Structure 1
């Protein structure tokens, strides 16, 4: 396997800057997920690593080797695309071994590699079938097997599960996590689905507008987002953002308030008294209850109640016309149009510009 190093990586299409300077270190054996909204540059960045897009500026190292000018086949990478791209007239065995046969790999070695990949993916019984005889998940496993037989230094995945239905995506996420553990491989995975990112990654790279917003472990990003974009992108349901005014600042603590929220002290940096801010509270940190004796709370008229079995999603509209969503791990008797109050721990809240 191999490590990756991206230094000041940039990509422009004419006058349009798509990747605006990315610095990133990926350790040997890490599972790194690029995540962000459509158009953020994550797939372009992956294609630059693969050699499918030219690098406008900066340096790319794979396994310590400068790869800016190397062709894709010279980079010791294997890529799995959103589309399975299987040859319909070939069997699973032939599809998985086709790249090796083009490289004149001896038949005995080809056979060993294909059968070992099939064992890892639990596909030994499918080797003689054609793609038309396979389910969507099985076809994607063939595409992954085609990458495994090449024994690359780095695996690249470009939204490989987006064509699958919801239940199958969950199963394939488990398969990919297991595959990573078994191979100990370096993997770079692109998705717009933050749940995939949270469940698969050792390290998440959050991109927006061609720039890296934050890099860290899933729980680091969940608990300590560096800005409002990351806070709103990571986590489901989405984090609540409430407009507040900063009343006073004491070191790294700011006291904030609004029409809907009584004064509450929150950890912060870079704020001054009188400035405006966003108070951010995760739906999971809101608990039913009326604030008393200086407790932090928020309430409003219920506009939505969704009972999902393991949790209940409640949305209320505050007196200031803002929407607040709470995720409650119990079934509480709440109805549309009622007034509901929620408590929260100020230590679990964030303040953003």
Structure 2
């Protein structure tokens, strides 16, 4: 297997910069997820690693080897796309072994590799079927098997689960996590789904506008987002953002307040008294209790209640019409338009500059 090192990697199409100087160090055997909204550059970055897009600037190292001008087939990578791209007239066995047959791999070795990949993916019983006889999840496993037989140093996945329904995506996520454990391979996975990123990754790379916003372990990004973009993108439901005003500054602590929020101390640097800011509150950190000493509180009127059995999602509006979401970890009844108050621990709140 192999690690990767991206040093100041850039990609431009004419005068338009798509990837704007990306630095990422990926250790051997890690599962790294590139995540971000559509158009952030994550698929372009993956294609640059694969050799399918020319590198405009910077350096790409795979296993300490400079690969900027190395042909894709010589980089030791295998890529799985969103589209299964299977040959409909071939069996599963033939689809998985097609690349090896083009490379004149001896028949005995080809068969051994295909059957080993089928065993890993638990699809030995499907080898004689055609793609039309398979489910979407089974077709995706064939595409993954086609990558496994090549014995690559690095696996690249470009939104491989996007064509599957919700339940099947959950199953395939578990299969991919198991595959990573079994193979111990370096894997780079692109998705716009932050839930996939949180559940699969050893390390997440958050991209926006061709720029890396933050790199870290999933729980690190969830608990310590470095900016408002990361805070709003990681977590489901997304973080609540409320306008507040700074009323006091004391070292790395500031006092903030708003119409619906009594003055509370939160962590924050670089703010001045009277400055407008944004307070970030995770929906799961709001509790329907009366605020006590040392707690923050927020009040409003209920606009929507979603009772999901194991939890209740409550949407409410503050007196200044900001929409706030709270997730209560149990089934409760709350009436529409009823007045509610939620408490929270100020130590779990985040504050960011306005804008």
Give the TM-score range, shorter chain: over 0.9
Distance 1:194 1:100 in 2: 35
Superposed counterparts of 1:278-317, under 5 Å: 278-293=278-293, 295-317=295-317
Superposed counterparts of 1:227-246, under 5 Å: 227-246=227-246
Superposed counterparts of 1:1-353, under 5 Å: 1-293=1-293, 295-353=295-353
Secondary structure of 1:172's partner? helix
What runs of 5+ residues in structure 1 fail to find an aligned partner? none
Which of 287-296 and 93-102 deviates more?
287-296
Q: How many residues align?
A: 353
Give 1:290 shift: 2.4
Distance 1:106 1:24 in 2: 38
1:66-88 C-alpha deviation (Å, 9 max, x unpaired): 00001110100000000000001
Distance 2:208 2:141 in 1: 30
Give 1:294 shift: 5.4
CA contact (8 A) 2:307 2:332 kept: no
Distance 1:314 1:290 in 2: 16
Secondary structure of 1:21's partner? strand
Give 1:276 shift: 1.2
Distance 2:273 2:336 in 1: 38
1:242-298 C-alpha deviation (Å, 9 max, x unpaired): 100111111111110111111000011221222111110000000002224453100
Distance 2:82 2:335 in 1: 42
Which of 104-113 and 75-84 deviates more?
104-113
Distance 1:271 1:141 in 2: 51
Secondary structure of 1:320's partner? coil
Distance 1:7 1:294 in 2: 46
C-alpha distance 57-260 of structure 1, shift in aligned 2 (>3 A): same
CA contact (8 A) 2:311 2:331 kept: yes
CA contact (8 A) 2:308 2:331 kept: no
Secondary structure of 1:132's partner? helix
Q: Which runs of 4+ in 1 moved over 6 A?
A: none
* Superposition RMSD in Å: 0.8
Distance 2:290 2:316 in 1: 14
Give 1:61 shift: 0.4
Distance 2:167 2:293 in 1: 46
1:220-247 C-alpha deviation (Å, 9 max, x unpaired): 0000000000000000011000100111
CA contact (8 A) 2:93 2:114 kept: yes
